[in-house]
Amino acid sequence: MKKAGSYNNLRKTLLSETHETEKMKILKELLSTEETYVRSLDTCIVVWLDPLDARLKDKRPIISQDEIKVIFASIKTIFMFHTVLLGDIKSRLEQWNCFSCIADIFLGFLHYLKVYKLYVQNYTDALKLLSHLRKKNPSFQAFDNECVNDPRTGKQTLSSFLILPVQRIPRYALLLSDILKETADDHPDYKNLKDAVNRIQETTQMLDDKMEEANQFKRVLQLDENLYWPDSDVRKALNLRGKHTRQMINEETKISFATLLPCFSLFSNLKSLSLEFDLEGVEGGEGEGGGGGE
């Protein structure tokens, strides 16, 4: 009986150590991704937002104050908060032991999620305005290109920075869920972890509709970029492998890309979607086959 008891105790100890090792891996991932997130927000502010604000104060604006507010919303507030959150996580991990807790930090963080709700609600408007400015404002277009080529941005666009707050909250839910899986139900952090995961998941669900709307609009923008020509008399063909269709567009015809939104469910189910641009032999919108379909 003593041997069996010793074996069970050893087994419990080994399992506990395994869980603690896995938990530490996840905690380190939480810390490293938070560091990357804060650094990226800082880059967005320093490279794009601060210079735009400075030009506004110097009365040499590239875009208006209202446009700045629409594009960047509460990103500075989010950055300042996460600078504090990062410090809290780092301090906790520096003194970590098997009885340490992390959930209390995130339960305190939940109060500030309303800032994210406002940011996500504004996100689609930010993308729309950004797309408009890139096409219609040469000064902003030049400035934006300079920013993308700045070594600090790593050739990433402003859009790729603006989406980061939209993606961050679901990331917390996943990481904390993984930490919870490695936490024994008699651990002092277990109850708070469970509570934090549930509440963050509820918030994520609330944001999902706005996130989907924003993602949908981003897909429209990507399609728009692929199909945009400044010149008239261009024939464009959408070639969907399987059933062949062709759309002829002349200078009197324009596509409203908002009308393409219902098509994305179709496009996402196709194994292959290719955009073909047939520019040869086009005169005044008339092509071979009389400008009709096949």
**CA–CA dist 292, 290 (Å, integer):** 6
Distance of alpha carbon 21 from its chain centroid, rounded?
Answer: 30
Token pair, residue 247, equals 């759309």
What pLDDT, on the 0 to 100 scale, is given for residue 187? 95
Render the burial of 191-217: b for 16+ CB within 10 Å, e for the rest.
ebbbebbeebbebbeebeebbeebbeb
The residue type at 62: I
**CA–CA dist 282, 235 (Å, integer):** 7
What pLDDT, on the 0 to 100 scale, is given for residue 13? 56
- Which domains, and CATH codes, for the chain? 2-227 (1.20.900.10), 229-294 (no CATH)
Tell me the sheet residues that pair with 273.
Answer: 240
What pLDDT, on the 0 to 100 scale, is given for residue 205? 82
What pLDDT, on the 0 to 100 scale, is given for residue 6? 57
Query: What are the pLDDT tens digits along the chain (294 aa)?
Result: 555 555 455 445 555 678 899 999 999 999 999 999 999 999 999 999 999 999 999 888 999 999 999 999 999 999 999 999 999 999 999 999 999 999 999 999 988 888 998 899 899 899 999 999 999 999 999 999 999 999 999 999 999 999 999 899 999 999 999 999 999 999 999 999 999 999 999 888 877 776 776 677 667 766 665 554 444 444 344 433 344 333 433 333 333 444 444 444 444 444 344 343 444 444 444 444 444 444
**CA–CA dist 221, 257 (Å, integer):** 8
**Single pTM value for the model:** 0.71
What pLDDT, on the 0 to 100 scale, is given for residue 73? 96
Sign (positive or negative) of CA dihedral 278, 280, 281, 285: positive
Render the burial of 218-256: b for 16+ CB within 10 Å, e for the rest.
bbbbebeeebeeeeeebbbbebeeeeeebebbbeeeeee
**CA–CA dist 174, 102 (Å, integer):** 14
